[in-house]
Structure 1
Amino acid sequence: MFFFTLLLFSYSQTSQQIQNATADCREILSNPRLTPLHGTLDVVMNQNVSLSCHSDSGSPPVRYTLFKHSQKVSALNRTDLNPALFNLTINSASDVGEYKCKAENEISNGEKYSRSLNFTLKEPVSKPVLSSPNSQAKKGQNVTLSCLSEKGSLPITYTFFKDKQSIQAPVKMQNREAAVISVLIKSSSDFGMYKCKAENRLRNNTKYSNSFNFTLAEERSNSQPLIISLGLILLLLAIGLALAIPFFIIPSYKAKKCKRPMSSTGHTSIEKVEESEDRITYAEIEPVQPEEEYVNLSVIRRDEQENRSCATIYSKVLIRDGAQAGPLHSPE
């Protein structure tokens, strides 16, 4: 009996020693490392990304858990020391932000957390637009070119080309503004095809603009302003003449026509020759020399509408050497 009791005591001691030795072989986990497999934290919409969570030391099995803003995303168990891989898809802006992972094994107080990791959502640049305030230029003139992409994550770098050759150092814009350069038109070769290129930090994301060509502006001759001035003067004279005819020339002609002619000598005698309801005929006799006289027949018409009378000379009658003239009548 005593021997059996001694045997049991020895077995319990041996078992405790084995358990202590096994516990001494278990290793506490180190803090895991969370890293992206593609090497960059810049992502675009609908992109697939892979995150690796791994503790360099620690006794397996190890359980790895991925968190986003303290919310559990996924968990994986590893029976060896290989890293756990978490696959994600960036479907919206809410899928980017702070990520962490946790590693734990069977040893008490064996939970360890990694450092946080943040994704940045990047937008590809849109096709830039190349433009200029002047589409025409002449030799010796400075012209400006502007290049702008309306979409794309900042900063955006713009490069200007002429016939596929860079004409200036790249311009990096931190704001959503156009890159502007100045070009001196020295010769006809400067009227070539211009383009610009836009790119940001995203890989394989380069866009080229439309082509732009300057045309040679026609130089105006010095005689053109003189010709234009003469044309304006002639036009003003024609307008003035057209306005003067109804307002000045026609009324003056009518007034001269309605005025009864007077004698140049003042020694005239007037005789009434004929009278009717609508007109009166007068004979104006003017002596010129003793042997001859001139007779002017004037017909005066009555105009009831305008309430005036107009006189018109119809003929001249020459009387020579005291010959007696017969009765005078109007030619009408």
Structure 2
Amino acid sequence: MWKKSFLMFLFSLSVQKAALDCERMRKTNEFPSPNLNSQTDAVMRGQNVSLSCFNQYKSLRITYFLFRGEKCLSIQNGPMTFNLTISEARDLGPYKCKAQVSNCSKYSLEFNFTFVDPVTAPVLNISVVQTKTDRYIMLRCISFNGSLPINYTFFEKNMAISPAISKNVREPAEFNLTKNNTGEGKEYRCEAKNRLPDHAKYSQLITIPSTGKAMKDNAPRIYGNTPMEDGTYANICKNQAGTEYSQEIHYATPMFQEVAPRDQETCNDCKTGYVYSELIF
């Protein structure tokens, strides 16, 4: 009987000591909350990602628990790296991590992923007001697909000439500059990117030579259901006679997309194999 009482006494002491140790670690911050993070919180549907959970005090013998909502996904001794695939809404989170030493435990902050659609190649349009001495150039860039906000940057050759211009609505970003009319031709393009890392897209390169005629770099034709670009068009508007010389030039790279033929365009003896397109500015 006395042995059983003695064992109960020792067990009580160990529980009290563990409680005191846990309270001491809380007060002295010897056992801080774990960190739960990933390389990015912006993901595409079906993307593989990793979540890491760790505590800065590596000398402690810590057991880690990873939760999604109230469901425990994994238990591991030592720092944890958990690989998962984000396929549906429930995979977005919230995730949290518990670190436990003896009977003392702490939780990380919650972590959530967000679905983001990648941007498509943007379209660059250029308007030029040309006088005898100067060119006043307006660059306009828009990507028609991709989650907002989208950041746009304009380039002259390979050098950025604008800061990142953020757009929270589906509208073109604009940038104005002035060039000497006697200078040589310049090449322009724009970049579009959103929160997805390593998914930036660039427009076609447009060259404005000193003669005032615009040219686009040669690019392979793409046939099918995807939008495609074809040619660069210049619309030149000269001023009225009797005023100082100037002209306004608009350079546009339109988008073509395959569409079904309209009713009035169909007939019994028409040949098959034609592709109908609509012009999207």
In structure 2, the residue matched to 1:123 is 117
Deviation at 1:209, TM superposition (A): 1.4
Deviation at 1:112, TM superposition (A): 5.8
Residue number among 168, 171, 181 corresponding to 2:165 in the alignment: 171
- Does residue 1:75 correspond to 2:74, yes or no? yes
In structure 1, the residue matched to 2:207 is 213
SS in 2 for 1:172: strand
How far apart, in 1, do the equivalents of 2:9 and 2:119 lie?
68
Change over 3 Å in CA distance of 1:74–1:106 after alignment to 2 = same
- Does residue 1:35 correspond to 2:51, yes or no? no
Deviation at 1:195, TM superposition (A): 1.4
Residue number among 79, 83, 95 corresponding to 1:99 in the alignment: 95
Deviation at 1:178, TM superposition (A): 0.9
In structure 2, the residue matched to 1:262 is none
- 1:51-66 correspondence runs (5 A): 51-52=52-53, 62=63, 64-66=65-67
In structure 2, the residue matched to 1:24 is 16
How far apart, in 1, do the equivalents of 2:191 and 2:9 lie?
74
SS in 2 for 1:159: strand
- Does residue 1:197 correspond to 2:197, yes or no? no
| Deviation by residue 1:135-154 (Cα, 9 ceiling, x = unmatched) | x9564453422111223343
- Partner letter of residue 168 of structure 2? Q
SS in 2 for 1:118: coil
- Partner letter of residue 44 of structure 1? M
Using CA pairs under 8 Å that are at least 6 residues apart, name the structure with larger relative contact order, 1 or 2.
2
Residue number among 131, 143, 152 corresponding to 2:146 in the alignment: 152
SS in 2 for 1:204: coil
Instruction: Calculate percent identity across the aligned residue pairs.
Output: 27
SS in 2 for 1:117: coil
Deviation at 1:41, TM superposition (A): 2.6
In structure 1, the residue matched to 2:250 is none
How far apart, in 2, do the equivalents of 1:142 and 1:60 lie?
67
- Structure showing greater radius of gyration is 1
SS in 1 for 2:169: coil
In structure 1, the residue matched to 2:126 is 132
TM-score when scaled to structure 1?
0.48
In structure 2, the residue matched to 1:88 is 84
In structure 1, the residue matched to 2:175 is 181
Q: How many residues align?
A: 203
Query: Can you give the 5+ residue segments of structure 2 that lack an aligned partner in the other structure?
Result: 24-30, 214-235, 242-281
Query: Can you give the 5+ residue segments of structure 1 that lack an aligned partner in the other structure?
Result: 1-7, 223-332
Deviation at 1:67, TM superposition (A): 2.3
| Deviation by residue 1:292-314 (Cα, 9 ceiling, x = unmatched) | xxxxxxxxxxxxxxxxxxxxxxx
| Deviation by residue 1:264-285 (Cα, 9 ceiling, x = unmatched) | xxxxxxxxxxxxxxxxxxxxxx
- Determine if contact 1:105/1:111 at 8 Å carries over to the other structure: yes
SS in 1 for 2:49: strand
- Determine if contact 2:44/2:117 at 8 Å carries over to the other structure: yes
Q: Which structure has more helix as a fraction of its residues?
A: 1
SS in 2 for 1:19: helix
- Determine if contact 1:34/1:100 at 8 Å carries over to the other structure: no
Deviation at 1:60, TM superposition (A): 7.5
- Determine if contact 2:189/2:206 at 8 Å carries over to the other structure: yes
Change over 3 Å in CA distance of 1:133–1:75 after alignment to 2 = same
How far apart, in 1, do the equivalents of 2:61 and 2:166 lie?
51
Deviation at 1:175, TM superposition (A): 2.3
